[in-house]
Structure 1
Amino acid sequence: MIKAKRMSKLIEQITEPTLPTAMLFTTSGALVSYATYNCQNEPRKRLEDAKRARSIAALAGNIYSLYSGVNPSPLVAESTDDVIAHQQDILFETIMEFENGKLLISEIAETNVGSLTSSNSSLLLGIVGTKEAMEGMMQLKSERLKEFLSAELSDIEHNTTESDASVRE
């Protein structure tokens, strides 16, 4: 199973003043882990941050699920990747701009993450940015973090399958 504290420490590395919150959640909107910039030890502040992260994860998971089934026409595709995504019906990532900030949602490369989360949902990475956050920096941090998270998740999956095999024997 995924260890939320371990994931939180990994996710926390990309937070900064312009990227105050990062989270790992499922396409169904279930929050797996999150981290905030300057996470204070004040219980009330932590509770507010947790509620906010759960709300964002629920909305982002829903938005991702809606858009992952709807891809642009290959006629308006800007690159070969867009055409491939349309043919495979895959949404790689999306950045949305809101009145008070930005939100990047990106699917984490996975092999059998459903067994790790005990559901059929894929894992998603969400990065919340302020108005001043640069989209390029958000994408770069997302790519780097996804590399580490993918490695971490494959280690967890490998250990899980090994322990399942030893239990069967």
Structure 2
Amino acid sequence: MPSAQKLVILDRDGVINQDSDAYVKSLDEWIPYTSSIHAIARLSKAGFTVAVATNQSGISRGYYAIATLEAMHSRLHQLVSQAGGKIAYVAVCPHGPDDNCECRKPKPGLLDEIRHALQLETLEGSWMVGDSLRDLEAGESRGCQPILVRTGKGRLTEAQGKGLENVRVFENLQAFTDWLLSK
């Protein structure tokens, strides 16, 4: 069973792959950052458990189907595996912002799902890596250490400056991984 201190939870779009204001709607549009794939593999090899928590409102908006999302995540698992790593769990919120669900970040439902799936008592002390304030707020609500990356919408989030008092900021997932593994 993993420990919370050895758990890294990642947002997907903007952290693992390029983000798009028009939504990532197809496997062809899902373009991973090579450095992020290798960072996930390095974390795995170093004994960290890696999970993903991703809002995917494009599903409820009718932009793409669950099968398309599953193809993207299948490709993600394949690339990480080829690099020698593993993603333990992917939690997805398919709802829109007006659906009042409990899983859409900044609400903590996706993190609770990860905690339950990985059979952890708490997420206290784990890491939440995102490119938006909503990612960090979800993590902080469950005791995760918040990490902002400047990829995706991260530079914009950093420039807005609010809510980042206790947040470490890194250029990308690779830079965070370098720092974490050097501790």
TM-score (normalised: structure 1): 0.33
Structure number, greater radius of gyration: 1
TM-score (normalised: structure 2): 0.31
Structure having the larger proportion of residues in helix: 1
